[in-house]
A = this chain, B = another copy of it.
């Protein structure tokens, strides 16, 4: 008997790419599970054959993987994010101990068999990415899942061989990170369609050139995703790591999509380059400056074995400032919690109305202007048929007015891509970053609570006095880390919103001015009364 599989999600085949479109609930016959790259060759009930992403199929009798560990993870995460009401915070269990699986070359769209819950959300009309970004959380690295308990990370000392340190200085605005004298930057360009599996599978490769070496390196989306996973795992307890642009299954080889994804990857990389801690980390430097395939693979393995991840990285924070006590830390946490929560609400509100406005501006509104224009033109045609002498001025002007409104329809439909797009992209980035704060603040809160009960721990003989002092100092360092990060966030926020609002308003001015000018020209065609 042939091995069968249930289709878990709709999948639309990329034309000319040897793929098979399947619909959720359908049963297909599994022809080949060893095709690699996260694909299964399958046959549908009409006998059509082709490749389907593994994650889209539940092979009969195959109870391993995604589903179960996800539901466990989900429960844990909903505990850590209680009070934030979990909007937009999708979680995903990850198992990444199979190095060989990783080194298999999986395709852009299939995240391999271990990413079974790869929810693909469609962007809005015209490729606008307004769907809820997926924030991945490697649960097993986090304090409330399998990560070290607060005692462990409050007492952990930096390993002797680790040369990373995160100094914090006090400036006018308060604690700040140490910023490099030359800011790192990179340029993503030249997306190329490449092939694997003897041409069976295709993907897009981007060229990334850092300003430090000016030497381009090539990366596929999955490499960005790998980098994102590493950064999240390493820094996710301390810094908001914004999610990557959404994965997309259909249309991923279309020029518009490639252009938009490149733009989004560029924004993501620029933000990471701008971050003094992230940009100087080994894994980030590896990504931007690896010399050859061998160096890349070795670097990858090293990064994946990195133990200074999660809350343990607080042991590397070195503030030049007076120690804070638990109450002060808690107060700061609460302030940041209120702020990030309010900003999250504000950003979502803007994204919601922006999304509605986008749909109106690209849908019904231009259609209406077009209809108004056509109505004027049609009336002009009727008037021309009157045989009444001397009304050419009116009919010409009426035709021109009609054409003007038809032109306005086009301008209206194209406008969101010119202004709203950037407003939405910036706010989407911020929504992504803000989605990390509940976790970051939860780590701090757990530490505050643990330090509060340190007297009891000493009495119970679980820690000694010098360990208690050490814990308090570590908590103070964590707070300086958080303050430095918030100040980094604020200064970037001010820069970003100032920039995007000016861009938006400038384009809006141009838009309305252009329409006013066109209508003024149309008006001048009519005979003066």
Contact = CB atoms under 8 A, between A and B. Distances in A.
A364 B357 CA distance: 10
Given A368-B356, A490-B388, A501 B397 contact: yes
A502 interface: yes
A513 interface: yes
A382 B346 contact: yes
Interface string A350-383: 1001101100100011001001101110110111
Contacts of A526: 498, 501-502, 505
A391 interface: yes
Query: How big is the A interface, by class?
Result: 35 or more
A516 B505 contact: no
Contacts of A381: 346
Interface stretch (A60-68, A251-259, A318-326, A336-344): A336-344
B501 A385 contact: no
A383 B343 CA distance: 8
A519 interface: yes
Given A353-B371, A505-B522, A398 B497 contact: yes
Contact of A375 (B172, B349, B372): B349
Majority-rule SS of A interface residues:
helix
Contact of A490 (B172, B386, B393): B386
Nearest to A490: B388
A381 to B, nearest CB: 8
A523 B509 contact: yes
A429 to B, nearest CB: 14
Given A360-B368, A368-B356, A509-B516, A376 B350 contact: yes
A388 B509 contact: no
Interface string A478-516: 000000000100110110011101100110110011011
A458 to B, nearest CB: 35
Interface in A388-402: 388-389, 391, 393-394, 397-398, 401
Given A350-B375, A365-B360, A498 B527 contact: yes
A160 interface: no
Contacts of A372: 350, 353-354, 357
A391 B353 CA distance: 25
A113 to B, nearest CB: 42
Contacts of A519: 505, 508-509, 512
A525 B379 CA distance: 45
Contact of A387 (B335, B365, B382, B388): B335
B394 A498 contact: yes
A394 B494 contact: yes
Contacts of A397: 498, 501
A162 interface: no
Contacts of A346: 375, 378-379, 381-382
A157 to B, nearest CB: 33
A433 interface: no
Contacts of A353: 368, 371-372, 375
A173 B356 contact: no
A393 B498 CA distance: 9
Nearest 3 pairs of A and B residues by beta carbon: A512-B516, A388-B490, A505-B523
7 contacts: A173-B389, A343-B382, A388-B490, A391-B494, A394-B498, A397-B501, A401-B501
Given A397-B501, A512-B512, 20 more contacts: A339-B382, A343-B382, A346-B375, A346-B378, A349-B378, A350-B372, A350-B375, A356-B371, A360-B365, A365-B365, A379-B497, A388-B491, A388-B494, A397-B498, A499-B529, A509-B516, A509-B519, A512-B513, A513-B513, A513-B516
